[in-house]
Amino acid sequence: MNKVLSSRWTKAFLFLLCLAPLLLLGWRGYHNQLGANPIENITHKTGDWTLRFLLITLAITPIRRLTGKLWLIRYRRMFGLFAFFYATLHFLTYIWLDKFFDVHEMLHDIAKRRFITVGFAGFVLLIPLALTSTKGWILRLGGKRWQALHRLIYFSAIAGVIHYWWLVKADIHKPLEYGAILAVLLGYRIAGWAGPKLSANKAKSLREPRFEVRQG
Ligand code: HEM
């Protein structure tokens, strides 16, 4: 009972922590502290937090496995949904405050500006993940298919990093940092997949004769 209660409190605390960037933006907006270009500021902050939450979500599995803290899985869905939440705010800032719902101009941007194209792809990839994030959908799709679908998050995060890389004009430090973290997180998975396959192949090759045995 105590465990259930403490896990609920932790979840509530983490939920508020995840909301903090939005609350801070709201606070700054209310006090006119969003700088000379508030729309740009909001776009940058929501974009940054989308990418951060994508990376936090992707970090859960490696941290769980490396530290043995298996209970971390309880929070992965929440982090993933926050990535989608900030991506939606980011997209809304763009389409509402930047483009004033001018769908024609938006479509033109998506087609012509490559950083918008790839950012949009990253956002669209997150939609099926958010829609199928419930237990009901896991049962409906079956664990394996659900897991395969949710691997789309890798491509969304890759699109997010490329999007950032392509939009910066000079200083590529920040996209490089995000890219390096993503490379480690994806590298961990690739090693996990390739490792057993490589050792299975190795075991097979050890069982096979190392030289040709000539008959007669
Ligand atoms: C997974 C989806 C996405 C991620 C992870 C993402 C992430 C980011 C990041 C990290 C930044 C830069 C923040 C900074 O400078 O501190 C950014 C900027 C921006 N993003 Fe996104 N974004 C995504 C989707 C989108 C979409 C769908 C659009 C619009 C269709 C969009 C439009 C923009 C714009 C206009 C900027 C500002 C560009 C500038 O300063 O010149 N992004 N985004």
- For residue range 151-185, what is the model confidence (pLDDT) as tens digits? 999 999 999 999 999 999 889 999 999 999 999 99
Q: CA 154, 156, 182, 98: dihedral to nearest 10 degrees? A: -170
CA 35 and chain centroid, separation: 28
Return the closest-CA partner of residue 58 out of 177, 178, 182.
Answer: 182
Determine the distance separating the centroid of ligand 1 and the alpha carbon of 93, expressed in angstroms. 10
pLDDT of 214 reads 52
Contacts of 155-159 with CB under 8 Å at 24 or more apart are 155/122, 155/125, 156/54, 156/122, 156/123, 156/125, 156/126, 156/129, 157/51, 157/54, 157/55, 157/58, 157/122, 157/182, 158/122, 158/182, 158/186, 159/118, 159/119, 159/121, 159/122, 159/125
pLDDT of 209 reads 52
Cα–Cα distance measured from residue 77 to residue 81, given in angstroms and rounded to the nearest whole number: 6
Nearest CA to ligand 1 atom 8: 47
Which are the contacts of 106, defined by CB distance < 8 A and separation ≥ 6? 94, 95, 99
Q: Which atom number of ligand 1 is nearest to the Cα of residue 98?
A: 35
Nearest CA to ligand 1 atom 32: 116
pLDDT of 2 reads 61
Nearest CA to ligand 1 atom 24: 119
pLDDT of 210 reads 45
Do 120 and 107 meet the contact criterion of CB atoms below 8 Å apart? Answer: no
Cα–Cα distance measured from residue 143 to residue 138, given in angstroms and rounded to the nearest whole number: 6
Q: List Cα–Cα distances, 199 to 185, 192, 196, in angstroms.
A: 22, 11, 5
Which are the contacts of 105, defined by CB distance < 8 A and separation ≥ 6? 99
Instruction: Show the ligand 1 pocket: residues with CB < 6 angstroms.
Output: 40, 43-44, 47-48, 50-51, 87, 90-91, 94, 116, 119-120, 122-123, 156, 159-160, 163-164, 167
Determine the distance separating the centroid of ligand 1 and the alpha carbon of 161, expressed in angstroms. 10
pLDDT of 196 reads 78
pLDDT of 5 reads 58
Do 53 and 83 meet the contact criterion of CB atoms below 8 Å apart? Answer: yes
Q: Which atom number of ligand 1 is nearest to the Cα of residue 124?
A: 27
Q: How much is the pTM?
A: 0.90
Cα–Cα distance measured from residue 146 to residue 136, given in angstroms and rounded to the nearest whole number: 11
Nearest CA to ligand 1 atom 43: 47
Ligand 1: which of 58, 94, 108 to mutate, judged by most atoms within 8 Å of the beta carbon? 94
Q: Which atom number of ligand 1 is nearest to the Cα of residue 175?
A: 10
Determine the distance separating the centroid of ligand 1 and the alpha carbon of 90, expressed in angstroms. 7
Cα–Cα distance measured from residue 69 to residue 95, given in angstroms and rounded to the nearest whole number: 40
pLDDT of 123 reads 98
Which parts of the chain register pLDDT below 70?
1-6, 198, 202, 204-216
pLDDT of 12 reads 95
Handedness of CA 141, 143, 7, 82 (dihedral sign): negative
Question: 């949710």: which residue's tokens?
Answer: 150
